[in-house]
């Protein structure tokens, strides 16, 4: 009998966020609040399908005449249609220096980007902490070393001294992974002036930047949220950009993303992208078509594009309103909610202790990550005061004796 090799596999810890979903679902309280799952919600607590996407899907169903394979590069019409929004309308391919391919969501694009740098001979990735947990997890799986620096300071602003030191200490064969906007999990973004400095630091150190742009349009606006990415690309000869449409088109379960490479010499693009195609072929072979095709149809139709941008504006405005209410509450109990107002995107970290996180769940039915990361879109006019009151109670100084 053959040896039972599968028994050598070790039990892996459950994903903390997925475990949190199960805990929330099992809670019978009618007034429970879910601030854990990273999806947009309306003021009524729903995660709707964009009207523009619905219209594009109807068109797709009516007009699509084949389900044949597209190839490992995916829907290149989708890839090209996104480029003016990411890189700017004036020269979306930077004079022939940028090319892309479709991937299964932002995670797929990040996996592909990191696999490409590994194949190219890079050995270490500089990452700010805290960061999206999958960043370090993918690096570990690929055998890439990770060097961390503090992303945020105690004042709730970017820790520029930390990134300066991290870049100064970088070595040949290093690359740096940065959030383009709407930092996950802190919501703390670099200012334009800070991006200007960071671009110069990266260029001087000759690091390869990998920009994770997963939330464009959810921070300050489509153009505003692209500032950091574009500033870095102007400064460096090469870069990789991992892009997600899961959030700004509401296509979470359809897994819609793209990977773009920028090179110094346009004649190198074919060779470099052939490695992306080769790695994709060995991973998922070909990306799913439906969501990317819907995005392409939206961006090819001026009316649907306008509708999508309007829906995106409404999402962003609602989250800014929630942030403003939290910020106006100021100091509640032992925490200050004021910094939340100056942060961007879906997430912020409230400095709860682990015991306080548990108390918010057990006593008040308010669920969020153990790090204190909350999804601000989970707060509505109906429940936001409950969250503020519970925060004040749980974090307030308790007198004993």
Catalytic residues: 132, 212, 247
**Strand duo 124-129 + 239-244: pairing:** unpaired
123/136 Cα distance (integer angstroms): 13
Q: Could you give the dihedral angle defined by the CA atoms of residues 181, 182, 183 and 185, in that order, rounded to the nearest 10 degrees?
A: -160
Q: Residue 268: CB partners within 8 Å, gap ≥ 6?
A: none
How many whole angstroms from its chain centre is CA 127? 14
Torsions phi, psi of 247, nearest 5? -95, -50
24/34 Cα distance (integer angstroms): 7
261/156 Cα distance (integer angstroms): 32
Contact 147, 174 (CB under 8 A): yes
Three-state SS sequence of 228-272: HHHHHHHHCCCEEEEEECCCCCCCHHHCEEEEEEECCCHHHHHHH
**b/e per residue, 83-110, with b = 16+ CB within 10 A?**
bebbbeeeeebbeebbbbbbbbbbbbbb
Instruction: Please list the residues that pair with 146 across neighbouring strands.
Output: 125
H or E stretch covering 128: strand 124-129
Q: Quick one: which of 182, 176, 181, 195 has its CA closest to 114? A: 176
Structure tokens that stand for 110 in this block: 């990040």
How many whole angstroms from its chain centre is CA 134? 10
Contact 350, 337 (CB under 8 A): yes
Contact 243, 86 (CB under 8 A): yes
């Amino acid at each position: 009998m053959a040896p039972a090799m599968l028994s050598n596999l070790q039990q892996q810890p459950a994903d903390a966020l997925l475990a949190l979903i199960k805990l929330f679902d099992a809670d019978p309280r009618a007034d429970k609040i879910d601030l854990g799952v990273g999806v947009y919600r309306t003021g009524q607590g729903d995660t709707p399908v964009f009207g523009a996407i619905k219209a594009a899907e109807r068109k797709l169903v009516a007009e699509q005449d084949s389900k044949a394979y597209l190839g490992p590069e995916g829907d290149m019409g989708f890839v090209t249609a996104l480029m003016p929004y990411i890189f700017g309308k004036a020269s979306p391919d930077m004079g022939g220096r940028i090319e892309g391919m479709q991937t299964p969501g932002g995670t797929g694009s990040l996996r592909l980007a990191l696999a490409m740098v590994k194949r190219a001979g890079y050995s270490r990735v500089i990452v700010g902490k805290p960061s999206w947990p999958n960043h370090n997890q993918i690096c570990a799986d690929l055998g890439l070393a990770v060097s961390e620096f503090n992303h945020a300071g105690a004042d709730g602003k970017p820790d520029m001294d930390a990134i300066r030191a991290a870049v100064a200490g970088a070595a040949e064969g290093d690359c740096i992974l940065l959030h383009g906007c709407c930092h996950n999990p802190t919501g703390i973004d670099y200012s334009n002036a800070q991006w200007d400095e960071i671009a110069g630091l990266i260029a001087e150190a000759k690091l390869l930047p990998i920009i994770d742009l997963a939330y464009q349009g959810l921070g300050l606006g489509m153009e505003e949220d692209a500032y950091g990415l574009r500033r870095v690309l102007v400064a460096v000869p090469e870069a990789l950009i991992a892009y997600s449409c899961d959030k700004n088109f509401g296509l979470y379960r359809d897994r819609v993303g793209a990977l773009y490479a920028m090179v110094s010499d346009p004649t190198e693009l074919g060779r470099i992208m052939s490695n992306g195609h080769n790695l994709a072929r060995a991973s998922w072979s070909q990306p799913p078509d439906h969501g990317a095709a819907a995005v392409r149809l939206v961006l090819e139709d001026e009316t649907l594009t306008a509708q999508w941008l309007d829906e995106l504006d409404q999402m962003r405005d609602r989250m800014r309103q929630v942030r403003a209410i939290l910020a106006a509450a100021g100091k509640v109990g032992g925490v200050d909610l004021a910094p939340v107002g100056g942060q961007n995107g879906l997430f912020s970290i409230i400095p709860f202790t682990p015991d306080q996180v548990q108390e918010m769940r057990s006593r008040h039915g308010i669920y969020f990550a153990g790090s204190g990361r909350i999804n601000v879109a989970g707060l509505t006019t109906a429940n936001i005061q409950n969250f503020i009151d519970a925060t004040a109670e749980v974090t307030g100084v308790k007198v004993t004796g």
